[in-house]
Amino acid sequence: MISKSTHIVGGEMYYEHLGNGKYKITLIVYRDCFFGQVGFDAPANLTIYSNGNTFEQVIPIYTIKTAKLPSDIYDSCFSVPSGVCVERGYYETTVNLSQRSKNYTISWQRCCRNNSIKNIPNPGAWGSTITTTIIPRDSVSNNSSPVFVNRPPLAICLGSKFEFDNSATDKDGDSLVYELCEALHGADTVNPRPGQATPPPYRLV
């Protein structure tokens, strides 16, 4: 049933260079545990492309831990409405990307988003692509990605003052620049859990 696939909230992907061309890849997936009737993918299929769209391999990975996020809100005068439940799943794996001159795109795709989303027409038909790109080590030696320090709250109050520390840390001490971007579409109701993610570029939601 299509309705049983509407559970994706969002996700993150990080990479850490371990030396000798080895990278630890971390995928974090957020799912709706109130309306969503589908659990975390077991396995989640990471797809690796090199130099844009040259297929390299698919790596199936499993969650190493899951946790239901506390129903917090950044205002002591309010509480999170009923029916809000988000669960976080952690996946990790180690890959060998030995070709120094290649850039590697690692992607995971899953459909579908919750029908309760108000700012996406027909949200239950839209999936998600979580992706990261590792640039050639000839350009930046032994680079790791930055990692966000905090997770955002589950809810914020309209008209209430809101402050959130969305900073990140970088293992290499790089200077970090932030920008807002649009969400990426991936997978669909016909094939909600593809065995292989499509290559970039990805369609915007």
pLDDT surpassing 50 at residue 2: no
Question: Which has the closest alpha carbon to 184: 166, 196, 197, 195?
Answer: 197
Q: What pLDDT, in 10s, does the model give residues 104-116? A: 999 999 999 877 7
What is the per-residue pLDDT across 130-174, written as a single tens digit (0 to 9) for each? 999 998 877 777 899 999 998 877 777 777 788 888 899 999 999
Residue 3 has pLDDT above 60, yes or no: no
Confidence category of residue 5, pLDDT binned at 50, 70, 90 = low
CB atoms within 10 A of CB 42: 11
Asked if 26 contacts 44 with a C-beta cutoff of 8 angstroms, the reply is: no
Contact 21, 51 (CB under 8 A): no
